[in-house]
């Protein structure tokens, strides 16, 4: 049953090719929110399809319609071969390799492609859009490899989504992995029969990179907010100087991200003893403490830049050729090139390495008695306990990995397809390595939070702010005070989960709202 005729469920996301946000992608990919195709979008699909049929009847040479694709653009596809050719196109382009995408990434990719189709510039049969909506709403997730695309449309990867539509390949359904044809049968869906331009409409998209990228940006927004709270806790642990947080100071250099980070740190420290008693030793704190808001702010600005451009992409067509239905034209183009927002993810990698490096330096300084006035490695008993000495190596190794992952990769492309395709971006890899950076940074912030809490306990009598106090007690509910040496891996993982799964941020937000 095509989604155009399904009743709109409460809370469903109505898609019309516009207005799709990063948050919407998260709600569908992870929250299993239902989707519905707007009638206006369905009309655009039907008009574009009619143009395709008209042009096919006229015999006008059209890339991917009655001519081959890539280096095979000179090959003629006769009307009698449309179904076979488009089926062959999907099979031949299904060339991705493991690892396979988790369910949330598959869903994000299908949503990104569906919304792009609704711009009405592909000329594909409307039933392809309906099938994406059905897959999302019924929980059918094609097996989708993550590697093999050069980032000039994810053709070798999202072709695997099309395989499931025609009853080929494999899919996940209800926690089971099974042949896609069997999954379709169980859901009462028949394999699609492909017509002119259908195969190219399925594969000519950056939907995997864009969908996965949207999830990365959603996660990063929360992580940077949580990072402010971790830093604030560390500042209390060293009895740091709060003058660099003064609103008037930041007003003299009003970068938006910096202002937001400083305001967030001040909220976390509302009611803290740092505002009441000046520590003369903190006249000029190390830069890892003094300019954290500038560092976090730069990452926030990079995030805002990348999110703006990615959301433009999510609400646009990246099809080649592009159908202009109102003008009854179909034009070859390069709208599949995602370099503009891929560069945003490259920038994010560099920005997050600055965040990670400053966190790592704060970790090291929190273990230095010459700096804190506390015990070496924050040990509770210098005679019997080592404390956090070895954990420094974990933090340092994470920083090295982040540094490596932050190296740009978008320019590492080759000239392919008979020197026709001589530009690429490696967008899927760039996005994937950004997600890896985010994960490693989460671990690093967890380690810093453990150090800060230990220092606060050893110092004693520290009056915490509203946000930092909530964060401190949440951490202590999962990671007790280190009163004797124990396995650090367990504590680090517990703190990491609090930050990654959002409990840390929710506790802080709740506290500063009260």
| Position 4 pLDDT exceeds 50 | no
The pLDDT > 70 percentage for the chain reads 94
Of 108-122, 293-307, 406-420, which gets the smallest average pLDDT? 406-420
Answer yes or no: same fold for 3-205 and 213-513.
no
Distance, CA of 394 to chain centre: 25
pTM above 0.85, yes or no: yes
What confidence tens digit (pLDDT) does each residue in 117-159 have? Answer: 999 998 889 999 999 999 999 999 999 999 988 888 898 999 9
What confidence tens digit (pLDDT) does each residue in 178-199 have? Answer: 999 999 999 999 999 998 888 8
Which pLDDT score, from 0 to 100, does residue 9 have? 57
What confidence tens digit (pLDDT) does each residue in 246-287 have? Answer: 999 999 999 999 999 999 999 999 999 999 877 777 777 898
Mean pLDDT, residues 19-32 taken together:
96
The angle at the Cα of 249, spanning 243 to 252, to the nearest 5 degrees, equals 170
Of 89-93, 170-174, 451-455, 490-494, which gets the smallest average pLDDT? 89-93
Which pLDDT score, from 0 to 100, does residue 337 have? 87
Element housing 90 (H / E): helix 82-93
What confidence tens digit (pLDDT) does each residue in 36-81 have? Answer: 999 999 999 999 999 888 877 777 776 667 665 666 666 766 666 6
Mean pLDDT, residues 487-492 taken together:
96
Of 488 and 326, the one with more pLDDT = 488
What is the bridge-based pairing of β-strands 329-331 and 145-147?
unpaired
CATH architecture type of domain 213-513: Up-down Bundle (1.20)
Mean pLDDT, residues 469-479 taken together:
97
Which pLDDT score, from 0 to 100, does residue 244 have? 93
Residue with tokens 């938006």: 256
Structure tokens at 212: 């996965």
Task: Kindly report the CATH number that applies to the domain delimited by 3-205.
Answer: 1.10.275.10
Which pLDDT score, from 0 to 100, does residue 8 have? 47
Spatial neighbors of 363 by CB under 8 A, at least 6 apart, are: 391, 392, 395, 444, 447, 448, 451
Of 319 and 68, the one with more pLDDT = 319
Distance CA(116)–CA(110), nearest Å, equals 10
Distance CA(477)–CA(142), nearest Å, equals 40
Average pLDDT, the chain: 91
Domain ranges of the chain: 3-205, 213-513
Mean pLDDT, residues 113-118 taken together:
96
97 phi and psi, to 5 degrees? -125, 165
Spatial neighbors of 416 by CB under 8 A, at least 6 apart, are: 150, 422, 424
Mean pLDDT, residues 213-225 taken together:
97
């Amino acid at each position: 049953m095509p989604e155009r005729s399904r009743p709109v469920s409460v809370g469903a996301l109505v898609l019309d090719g516009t207005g799709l946000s990063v948050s919407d992608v998260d709600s569908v990919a992870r929250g299993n929110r239902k989707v519905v195709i707007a009638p206006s979008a369905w009309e655009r699909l039907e008009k574009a399809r009619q143009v395709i049929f008209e042009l096919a009847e006229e015999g006008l040479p059209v890339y991917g319609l009655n001519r081959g694709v890539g280096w095979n653009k000179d090959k003629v596809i006769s009307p009698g071969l449309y179904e076979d050719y488009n089926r062959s196109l999907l099979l031949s382009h299904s060339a991705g390799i493991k690892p396979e995408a988790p369910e949330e990434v598959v869903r994000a990719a299908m949503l990104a492609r569906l919304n792009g189709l609704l711009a009405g510039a592909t000329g594909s049969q409307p039933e392809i859009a309906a099938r994406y909506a059905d897959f999302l709403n019924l929980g059918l997730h094609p097996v989708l490899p993550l590697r093999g695309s050069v980032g000039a449309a994810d053709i070798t990867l999202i072709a695997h989504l099309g395989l499931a539509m025609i009853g080929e390949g494999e899919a996940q359904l209800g926690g089971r992995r099974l042949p896609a044809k069997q999954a379709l049968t169980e859901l009462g869906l028949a394999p699609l029969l492909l017509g002119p331009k259908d195969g190219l409409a399925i594969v000519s998209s950056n939907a995997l990179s864009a969908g996965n990228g949207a999830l990365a940006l959603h996660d990063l927004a929360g992580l940077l907010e949580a990072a402010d709270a971790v830093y604030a806790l560390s500042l209390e642990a060293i009895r740091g100087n709060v003058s660099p947080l003064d609103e008037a100071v930041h007003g003299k250099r009003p970068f938006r991200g910096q202002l937001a980070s400083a305001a967030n740190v001040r909220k976390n420290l509302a009611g803290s003893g740092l505002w009441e008693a000046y520590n003369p030793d903190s006249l000029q704190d190390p830069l890892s403490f003094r300019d954290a808001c500038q560092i976090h702010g730069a990452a926030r600005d990079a995030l805002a830049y990348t999110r703006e451009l990615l959301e433009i992409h999510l609400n646009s067509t990246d099809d080649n050729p592009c159908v202009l239905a109102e003008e009854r034209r179909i034009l070859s183009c390069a709208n599949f090139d995602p370099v503009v927002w891929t560069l945003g993810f490259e920038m994010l990698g560099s920005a997050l390495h600055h965040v990670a490096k400053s966190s790592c330096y704060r970790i090291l300084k929190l273990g230095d008695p010459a700096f804190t006035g506390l015990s070496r490695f924050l040990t509770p008993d210098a005679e019997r306990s080592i404390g956090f000495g070895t954990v420094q190596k974990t933090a340092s190794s994470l920083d090295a990995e982040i540094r490596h992952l932050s190296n740009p990769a978008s320019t590492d492309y080759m000239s392919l397809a008979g020197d026709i395709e001589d530009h690429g971006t490696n967008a899927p890899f760039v996005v994937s390595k950004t997600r890896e950076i985010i994960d490693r940074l989460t671990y690093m912030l967890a380690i810093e939070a453990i150090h800060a809490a230990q220092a606060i306990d050893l110092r004693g009598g520290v009056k915490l702010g509203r946000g930092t106090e909530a964060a401190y007690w949440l951490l202590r509910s999962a990671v007790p005070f280190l009163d004797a040496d124990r396995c650090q891996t367990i504590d680090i993982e517990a703190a990491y989960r609090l930050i990654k799964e959002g409990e840390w941020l929710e506790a802080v937000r709740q506290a500063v709202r009260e």
